[in-house]
């Protein structure tokens, strides 16, 4: 059993996907293969992750028909611009071994060069019109970024992928997305960004939150499963990352229980309003300049 979301252009997308951020290339193929064997039908990657080729290999090894797997990837900032983004599609499709992508999104708003962001999005619109992608979207866009983009383009993004977990629920972003018919997709959906090594040892680990532990015990589940169920019941897409087959399977086992409205509200109440990932409004020239290899 899975849950599908209908995007604003009529395309359906499995709500739960496997994320491969920080998955080493040498472990990504087996993780994708394990996820697809478990029942996942949505894989999220990005040019900047350096593992698109391994994602494609995992899909091929699964033996599934191409149309059975929803493949999402992202254009990095160094490839923003109209012609550059058209070429970014060629690079991504080549590495993935696909002639069509299901969802292609811009990885950052990059407000320090927003004219190039807009040009990149117009290239996504061309790719959509040409049938080379089935849906287009954005990532890490705050409401003011969305407003600037929508003033300049014709196609409303289908998806906005943002940091979202119980300690950082981004209600304003969710409301802005909903107002435009954009699906909110959660990266770090189980709070991984709060406990990744090197991301700040003083951060609270949402996996150890007492309320989530309480709800997990009540439902005979894990805190991670409770968080993923919270996302799904509130209509979001979630892309938990793991390379461990057991954890990959555990994260997918979330379709046969329900949280009550009161429980959902209690999880919402954990929001601390503190971002743990990079601030989308802060320019990162060195990171943004990272070149994406041709092959």
Active centre residues (catalytic): 49
Nearest to 242 by CA among 163, 206, 198, 189: 189
Across 225-239, b (16+ Cβ under 10 Å) vs e yields bbbbbbbbbeebbbb
Q: What is the DSSP letter of 54?
A: H
Continuous H helices in the chain = 25-38, 52-62, 82-96, 114-130, 143-150, 171-179, 210-219, 223-233, 245-252, 261-268, 285-288
Residue 258: CB atoms within 10 Å: 12
Q: Which pair of structure tokens corresponds to residue 191?
A: 């709070």
Cβ pair 93, 99 in contact under 8 A: yes
């Amino acid at each position: 059993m899975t849950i599908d979301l209908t995007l604003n252009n009529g395309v359906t997308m499995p709500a739960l996907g496997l994320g491969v951020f920080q998955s080493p290339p040498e472990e990504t193929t087996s993780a994708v293969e394990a996820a697809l064997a478990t029942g996942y039908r949505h894989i999220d990657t990005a040019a900047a992750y350096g593992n698109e080729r391994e994602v494609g290999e995992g899909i091929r090894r699964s033996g599934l028909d191409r149309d059975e797997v929803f493949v999402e990837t992202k254009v990095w900032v160094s490839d923003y611009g109209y012609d550059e983004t058209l070429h970014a599609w060629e690079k991504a499709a080549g590495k993935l071994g696909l002639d069509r992508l299901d969802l292609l999104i811009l990885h950052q708003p990059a407000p320090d060069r927003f004219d190039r962001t807009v040009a990149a999005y117009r290239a996504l619109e061309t790719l959509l019109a040409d049938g080379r992608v089935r849906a287009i979207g954005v990532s890490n866009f705050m409401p003011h970024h969305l407003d600037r983009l929508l003033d300049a383009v014709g196609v409303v993004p289908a998806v906005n992928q943002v940091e979202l977990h119980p300690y950082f629920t981004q209600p304003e972003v969710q409301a802005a997305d909903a107002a435009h018919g954009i699906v909110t997709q959660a990266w770090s959906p189980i709070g991984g960004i709060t406990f990744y090594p090197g991301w700040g040892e003083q951060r609270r680990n949402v996996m150890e939150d007492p309320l989530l532990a309480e709800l997990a015990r009540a439902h005979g589940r894990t805190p991670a499963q409770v968080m993923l169920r919270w996302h799904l019941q509130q209509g979001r897409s979630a892309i938990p990352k793991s390379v461990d087959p057991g954890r990959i399977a555990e994260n997918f086992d979330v379709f046969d229980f329900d949280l009550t409205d009161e429980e959902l509200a209690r999880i919402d109440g954990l929001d601390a309003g503190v971002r743990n990932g990079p601030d989308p409004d802060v320019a990162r020239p060195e990171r943004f300049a990272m070149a994406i290899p041709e092959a």
